[in-house]
Amino acid sequence: MIKARVTVTLKNGVLDPQGKAIEGALGALGFDGIGQVRQGKVFDLQIETGDQAKAEADLKAMCEKLLANTVIENYSISFA
């Protein structure tokens, strides 16, 4: 069994309205000096295989097909 984490973030240059909303809310809550907030997604997965190369290939396919919109998002894969 392999545990993996996929982190999906917006590409540089892509507007992030949710990040802007979070930035404004943090300022309204009294947290000063916060800027350029970017919002993303994290997926923790458990894969029933002992072959890390296969797991990585499968994870890349999952990201390309479902977990990330590769037109506007980047993704990274890490293993625990």
For each successive 10 residues of the chain (80 residues), what is the average pLDDT?
97 96 97 95 97 97 98 97
Q: Look up residue 72 and give its two tokens.
A: 């506007």
Beta bridge mates, 46: 3
For Cα atoms 73, 79, 80, give the angle at the middle one, nearest 5 degrees: 130
Q: Which of 48, 51, 52, 40 has the alpha carbon at shortest distance from 76?
A: 40
pLDDT of res. 49: 94
CATH number assigned to the domain with residue range 2-79, chosen from the 4 options 3.30.9.10, 3.30.1280.10, 2.30.30.40, 3.10.20.600: 3.30.1280.10
pLDDT of res. 70: 97
What is the C-alpha separation between 41 and 69, in angstroms, rounded? 12
pLDDT of res. 80: 86
What is the C-alpha separation between 14 and 69, in angstroms, rounded? 12
All structural domains of the chain with their residue ranges = 2-79
